[in-house]
Amino acid sequence: MSKRELIIKTARRLFATKGYDGTCVDEIASKAHVNKATIYYYFKGKEELYQASVEDSILRVLKDLENGIRDSKDPENSIKTYINSFYRHAKNDESFLRILMREVASGGEHLSDNLIGVFVDILKILESILEDGFKSGVFKKVDTKMVHFSVIGAISFYICSADMRMNFKNEVSRLPSFLSDRDRDINELCELILRGLRK
């Protein structure tokens, strides 16, 4: 891992835990085991580092979606790819999800126009899948943003609540086991979404 990648990964973890305002460059440098000068060699300041840490994650999601859906002719498989791509990235990078949830709560206070553009590109991919499904008679006509929020909301809450669910299980012995199953199969979410889309 390069120093730049290490700085981004460390910063993303701190931004996820402490938020933008609660994170300082000194702490990022300390946790990444680099000096502040190294951070300023790669980034102009905290804002640019924040944008880079979010962009790094969201661009990986976009690229994964583009690669997974490019040759797909089946709208149902494309929806599964859409859901699985978000789930895989979220599970491997919970920090990004936590930052995203903070941004939702703050009205996107720290998101640049460039980052918002990437989110729009992702929504356009979903819109294309849903439109293809509608034209081919597989899907009903639906609202793209509601499908997107159903997917992202379910995945975000499921992954970010895992620790809480484990704590509940330890405290309350009668809690159903499915609430603490951290690796529950995402196929169930795919099927629930598809049931809502099918004609």
What is the CATH classification number for the domain harbouring 150? 1.10.357.10
Query: What is the reported pLDDT for 170?
Result: 59
Nearest Cα residue to 190 out of 78, 100, 94, 93: 78
Looking at the structure of the chain, the number of domains it has is: 1
Nearest Cα residue to 16 out of 93, 92, 85: 93
Confidence of residue 72 (pLDDT cuts 50, 70, 90): confident
Confidence of residue 75 (pLDDT cuts 50, 70, 90): very high
| CA 164 – CA 169 distance, rounded (Å) | 9
Query: What is the reported pLDDT for 2?
Result: 94
Q: Quick one: tokens of 41?
A: 């060699």
pTM equals 0.85
Residue 27 within any structural domain of the chain:
no
Residue 185 confidence (pLDDT) above 90: no
Residue 79 confidence (pLDDT) above 70: yes
Share of the chain above pLDDT 70, in %: 90
Burial 6-41 (b: 16+ CB within 10 A, else e): ebbbbbbbbbbeebbeebebeebbebbebeeebbee
Residue 4 within any structural domain of the chain:
no
Residue 32 within any structural domain of the chain:
no
Residue 185 within any structural domain of the chain:
yes
Strand partners, 198: 139
Q: What average pLDDT does this structure show over 128-141?
A: 96
Instruction: Please give the residue range of the domain that contains residue 133.
Output: 51-197
Residue 40 within any structural domain of the chain:
no
Share of the chain above pLDDT 90, in %: 74
Q: Could you tell me which residue, 164 or 80, shows the higher pLDDT? A: 80
Residue 97 within any structural domain of the chain:
yes
Confidence of residue 73 (pLDDT cuts 50, 70, 90): confident
Q: Which of 10-19, 95-104, 150-159 has the highest mean pLDDT?
A: 10-19
Q: What average pLDDT does this structure show over 21-42?
A: 97
